[in-house]
Amino acid sequence: MPRTTPVRLAAALVGLAAVAALTVPGRPAPSTAPVRPVASSTYPTNAAKIFRWGNAQWYDNFISPVKKMWSVNKPRLVRDQHGMLTINATATSGTVSATLTGHGRRYGRWEARVRAEQYSSKAAPYHVVWELIPTLSANYHCGARSIVLADYALGTGTANMYLRNTPSTQLTARKALTLGPGPFHTYAVEVTADHISWFVDTHVLMTERRDVARTGATYKVRFRLVGQDGVKMNPGRMQMDWVRYYTLERKNARSIEAPQATLGAYDDAC
C-alpha cells in the first residue's frame, strides 16, 4: 500500500478546505469579476494643487530636528513634534516665534498648513500669526509693511488677513473657520507686481489691485504665538505641517477674481 507523503497530505487538506468554503450554506461563491479600486476620499487641500503652481522652489516639511535656517527666540519652547514645527507658549512665556533666515523674495506664492489650540480659557488668549515680514529690519516699521496670512485669537472662530503699508495703511479680509483643536487650515498668498491674492483652504478670498497694496518689500516667513506683555496668558501651541514657496512661473489654472480688501488704518506703525 503506497504511503502518503506529508506534501501530498498537505495538498489534500488544502483542497478539502477549498471545497468546504464553496459549500458552506449561506456563503457566496468567490467572484471572478475584476476587483475595482477603492475611490480615494482624499482631495487637494492646498491652493498650489488647485491653481497648479507647479513644484515648490523652496519648502520645509519639518522632519526632525528643527533646521538651523529657523531663528527661534525661545528655543526650549520650539521643537519638531511628529513632523510638525511646534511653537509652545506658557502662561508667562510671552511671545514665541520662529523666523526663516534667508530665502527672501519680493514676489511669489507662499503657503502653509497651520493649526493651533489653547489648554485653558481662564486668562488672556494668545494670537496665532502666520505672516511675511520684510527681510530688512529697517523696513519692518513695527509690522507696518507686513503681509499677514492668518491672525486670530485662540478660542475664536475668525481668521484675519492683513496687508500693511507705510505710513499707516491696513487692508483687511476675514474668514470664519473652525479654529479649535484638531483641524488644519491652509493659508496662502500670491504677491505680484500688480496684485496680491489671499487663499484659504484652496479658495481665493481676496484680490487687491490698488496701488496702496504694493509695498515693494522683500519678504521672509515668520510664525508666532503673540502674547500680551505683563499679562497672564492661556497656555497654547501652534503647529505647522509644512510651508512652501512657489514662483510665479506658472499662471493660475483658475480665476483669482475676488472682492478687494477693506481699507483701514494700522495704528501700531512706527
Express each pLDDT in 1-49 by its tens digit.
Answer: 444 444 444 444 444 444 333 343 443 343 333 333 333 334 678 999 9
Please tell me whether residue 162 adopts helix, strand or coil conformation: strand
Spell out the domain ranges in the chain: 55-265
Q: What pLDDT was estimated at residue 44?
A: 76
Q: For the chain, list residues with pLDDT below 70.
A: 1-43
Grid cell digits, residue 48: 498650489
H helices, E strands: number in the chain = 2, 16
Instruction: Please report, to the nearest 10 degrees, the dihedral formed by the alpha carbons of residues 105, 88, 148, 181 taken in order.
Output: 120
- pLDDT recorded at residue 17: 42
pLDDT of residue 4: 45
Question: What's the pLDDT score for residue 45?
Answer: 87
- Report the pLDDT value the prediction gives residue 43, as an integer from 0 to 100: 61
Alpha carbons 209 and 30: distance in angstroms, whole number: 63
Q: What is the CATH number of domain 55-265?
A: 2.60.120.200
